[in-house]
């Protein structure tokens, strides 16, 4: 099982590797996991490219997000995979260079995949997609990717899923234990590629199996690998969020923090970020906090307000 010292090592790895920028794309990148931590440790801020694009046209380019992040003086950009214009190596290297010349680190690649399916061929497809994304992150010098567990798919519409507050019935004829086994086995098949590339897999509390702290920790605790970490999303526990965040914070290696200025796209949480900051300080978290602005206010306005808030509470 992953213990607290392993979690701290993973956190140090993400912060150190991201700060090295383009160097992280070299063959020796996996050895950075044992690099010395900086003497003055603090939480760094990032901005998810999703903050500027909520899956509606017109799509905002990753280059534009990097430019806006640099102007705000924020350290990192968390790239949403579906927001990328290409997967060609020339495009990947252009993004890496653009971030470097603007003094911005590329800190996470947030991907979509789903390991909850009874068909091994379907799971294999998502495993191969995950491996491909690990390679994309490696080539961009990004030290971690965001993983989902996946969900049962018995609620087809995402809007309907949000109306149900993320709850959906199991697939008929199958059990919860089966779902966890599919997910755990699939993640384990991705780990050799993660270790080869020096890219951590950060499993998020999201919909499906990881909707609860118990579900998320069941998966993370079942896999004994320094290349599997935990991503804490402040906006994905819709009931009693602070109690649930406290349960997963000790293992958090990356944090995505949602804000909802102008009202949320699907729901709105009135999160007390002073309290969230206390939770993170209580477990000595010193990694990145990446903003996911999910409000209806103009993105530039909502992001700026959110970064001002985060600088106050996390600084």
pLDDT in tens, 256-310: 999 999 999 999 999 999 999 999 999 999 999 999 999 999 999 999 999 999 9
Q: How confident is the model at residue 14 (pLDDT cuts 50, 70, 90)?
A: low
- pLDDT, tens digit, for every residue of 100-157? 999 999 999 999 999 999 999 999 999 999 999 999 999 999 999 999 999 998 998 8
Token reading at 48: 């998810």
Q: Which residues contact 39 (CB under 8 A, 6 or more apart)?
A: none
pLDDT of residue 10: 55
The answer, yes or no, to whether residue 26 has pLDDT greater than 60, is no
pLDDT of residue 2: 43
pLDDT of residue 42: 83
- E strand spans, 98-238: 105-110, 144-147, 200-204, 228-233
Q: How confident is the model at residue 205 (pLDDT cuts 50, 70, 90)?
A: very high
Contact 128, 121 (CB under 8 A): no
Which has more confidence, 285 or 30?
285
- Where residue 40 falls (left for φ over 0; alpha for ψ -120 to 50; beta otherwise) is beta
pLDDT of residue 160: 87
Name the pTM for this structure: 0.86
Secondary structure (3-state) at 1: coil
Domains of the chain, CATH where assigned = 4-314 (3.20.20.150)
pLDDT of residue 162: 83
């Amino acid at each position: 099982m992953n213990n607290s010292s392993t979690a701290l090592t993973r956190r140090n790895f993400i912060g150190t590797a991201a700060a090295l920028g383009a160097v992280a794309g070299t063959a020796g990148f996996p050895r950075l996991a044992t690099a010395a931590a900086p003497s003055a440790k603090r939480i760094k801020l990032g901005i998810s490219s999703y903050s500027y694009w909520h899956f509606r046209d017109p799509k905002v380019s990753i280059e534009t997000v990097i430019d806006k992040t640099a102007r705000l003086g924020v350290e990192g950009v968390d790239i949403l995979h579906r927001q990328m214009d290409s997967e060609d190596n020339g495009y990947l290297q252009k993004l890496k260079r653009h971030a470097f010349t603007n003094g911005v680190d590329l800190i996470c690649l947030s991907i979509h995949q789903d390991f909850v399916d009874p068909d091994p061929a379907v799971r294999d497809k998502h495993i191969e997609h995950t491996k491909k994304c690990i390679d994309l992150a490696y080539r961009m010098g990004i030290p971690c990717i965001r993983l989902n567990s996946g969900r049962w798919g018995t609620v087809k519409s995402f809007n309907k899923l949000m109306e149900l507050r993320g709850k959906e019935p199991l697939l008929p004829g199958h059990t919860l234990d089966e779902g966890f086994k599919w997910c755990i086995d699939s993640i384990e098949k991705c780990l050799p590629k993660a270790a080869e590339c020096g890219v951590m897999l950060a499993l998020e509390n999201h919909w499906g199996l990881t909707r609860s702290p118990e579900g998320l920790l069941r998966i993370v605790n079942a896999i004994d690998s320094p290349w599997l970490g935990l991503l804490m999303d402040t906006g994905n526990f819709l009931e009693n969020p602070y109690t649930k965040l406290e349960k997963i914070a000790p293992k958090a290696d990356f944090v995505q923090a949602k804000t909802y200025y102008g009202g949320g796209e699907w729901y709105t949480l009135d999160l007390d970020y002073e309290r969230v900051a206390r939770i993170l300080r209580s477990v000595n978290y010193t990694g990145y906090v990446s903003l996911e602005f999910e409000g209806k206010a103009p993105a530039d306005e909502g992001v700026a307000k959110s970064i001002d808030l985060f600088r106050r509470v996390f600084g």
